[in-house]
Each structure stands twice: as structure tokens, then as C-alpha cells.
């Protein structure tokens, strides 16, 4: 099992911003964001998961 690390603050804020954009884009029509709201949420989760698995990210 891989050893997990805490994400840095900047990576956490980036993933949080992506997730918030996805939620806002789901409820409010924003030209690019609303079309890809699901993929923005997935990208936010992947960024957060990668920062927990990879050391120094």
C-alpha cells in the first residue's frame, strides 16, 4: 500500500477551486464551465489524489 502524504496548501486550493467551479457550473450557465462541469470535478479530485500519493507535489 502506498504511503499517503498531506497535499500542499496551493494544490489543495487548486483542487478546491476546480470543484467549486464544477458545482457552480452545474447550477449556473457559464459557457465553458457548464459544458464540462463533470470533468472539472473529476480533474479536481485527480489533482487532490495525485498530491496525496506523490511526494513533494
pLDDT of residue 3: 86
8 A C-beta contact, residue 44 and residue 22: yes
The model's pTM is 0.84
Domain boundaries, the chain: 9-53
Q: Where are the beta strands (DSSP E) in the chain?
A: none
Take residue 13 and report the three cell numbers written for it.
Answer: 486550493
* Distance from C-alpha of 15 to C-alpha of 18, rounded to nearest angstrom: 5
* Distance from C-alpha of 57 to C-alpha of 50, rounded to nearest angstrom: 8
pLDDT tens string for the chain (57 positions)? 778 889 999 999 999 999 999 999 999 998 988 999 999 999 999 999 999 998 766
Comparing CA positions, the residue from 30, 55, 54, 51 lying closest to residue 40 is: 30
pLDDT of residue 56: 67
Amino acid at each position: 500500500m502506498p504511503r499517503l502524504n498531506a497535499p500542499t496548501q496551493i494544490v489543495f486550493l487548486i483542487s478546491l477551486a476546480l470543484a467549486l467551479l464544477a458545482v457552480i457550473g452545474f447550477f449556473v450557465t457559464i459557457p465553458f464551465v457548464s459544458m464540462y462541469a463533470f470533468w472539472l470535478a473529476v480533474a479536481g479530485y485527480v489533482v487532490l489524489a495525485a498530491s496525496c500519493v506523490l511526494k513533494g507535489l
